Amino acid sequence: MDLIAPMRLYALSKRHFVLVFFVFFICFGLIVFIGIAGPEIITSRTLPPISTKSKGHLQSRPFKLQTPGLSTYNQELWLMCHFEPNKSTGEEFRKNIPLTVAVSGVMQDTSVPNIRVDAHNHTRSLHCTNGLCDEIIVLHLGYLNYTEYMITITFYDLEDPLFSIKNVNFTLKMYNALFSQVEIWFRFIFVVFTFMVTCLFAHSLRKFSMKDWSIEQKWMSILLPLLLLYNDPFFPLSFLVNSWFPGMLDDLFQAIFLCALLLFWLCVYHGFRVQGERKFMTFYLPKLFIVGLLWLAAVTLGIWQTVNELHDPSYQYRVDTSNFQVTHSEFLKAQKCNADHIIVI
């Protein structure tokens, strides 16, 4: 006679049940405290303001900026631009501003090779109200190959009789190096604990055949290895290899685990209504299709944004709305085609 794999959750006493929740809340509170007391995630460095009166007209005048020393612990780099109006009229002002961005990396021997062959042209939306203008994201570097960067920015069609600019302020934003070190240790600790729990779980079920496992135990045998990948044991490669691949690998692992977790909850909640055999074609396949669409959309958009940022550091998903609309319409068509089948199930 085959043994049925027991679930320890159903054998817990009230005292053990309260102890589990007590330990969970202690760990959760400790993590929240470390997050509050720990280093800030993003650090900012404001460059000296550039006056538009000291060097002539703003129209078509290039701004040349040089970043301070950076390290791989800074992970990414954003350049923000903030326009300071000459006077406040109290009226709302909106305008699309064409700009050109060129980025060069500074080597250790002070040579300046071009990261991108050509300068890239884009349009940003300027919005000002009550004498305050919103920040504009000029560029974003997904990973840092060089210790310093030379950035040349040229604005076009910015002068307007109803709107004059007094100063142009640039701000550099990057990950805090101290936060990156804390993140490495946290990920390492979670990877080790996840690996230990996975091994203990597999060891506790070694005496039982897989057909005797409960549905929760079968799902845990899938989610625990995916949780190990979610914590990304390859994360330190981001600081050792000057490549976009480790970051893309991290995004891929996160998308896989989150979609698998969503699939688990869909199966569990739908299983409350289905009493009997769960056939693959009628029970699992529609859920796999729905979650697969979400996974495909997340991975596709992530790869699309990464590839575009590699070729153009001034790229933003907001300026690529046409491709997004195509993807969105195709996704809605797929949802509509399967709506009747989903409702029946």
DSSP 152-172: EEEE-S--BTTB-EEEEEEEE
For the entire predicted model, the pTM comes to 0.77
CA trace torsion 78, 83, 84, 87 (10° rounding): -160
Give every CB contact of residue 318 below 8 A, 6+ residues apart in sequence: none
Three-class DSSP labels, 291-315: HHHHHHHHHHHHHHHHHHHHHCCCC
Q: Which residues have a Cβ under 8 Å from the Cβ of 99 and sit 6 or more positions away?
A: 121, 122, 123, 124, 138, 153, 154, 155, 156, 314
Provide block-wise average pLDDT over 10 residues at a time, the chain (345 residues). 62 83 90 86 87 57 85 89 77 82 74 56 82 85 85 80 79 92 91 93 83 82 93 89 84 92 88 74 87 91 80 68 50 46 38
Domain range 42-175, CATH class: mainly beta
Q: What residues contact 257, with CB distance under 8 A and at least 6 apart? A: 223, 226, 227, 229, 230
Where exactly are the structural domains of the chain?
42-175, 178-344
Q: What is the pLDDT of residue 306?
A: 81
Q: Where are the alpha helices (DSSP H) in the chain?
A: 14-37, 177-204, 215-230, 237-240, 245-271, 285-311, 321-337, 339-344
The pLDDT of residue 254 is 92
Q: Please write the tens of the pLDDT for every residue from 73-87.
A: 998 899 999 888 877
CA distance linking residue 184 with residue 71, whole number of Å:
15
Does residue 151 sit in helix, strand or coil?
A: strand
pLDDT of residue 340: 43
Instruction: Give pLDDT tens digits for 287-304.
Output: 999 999 999 988 988 888
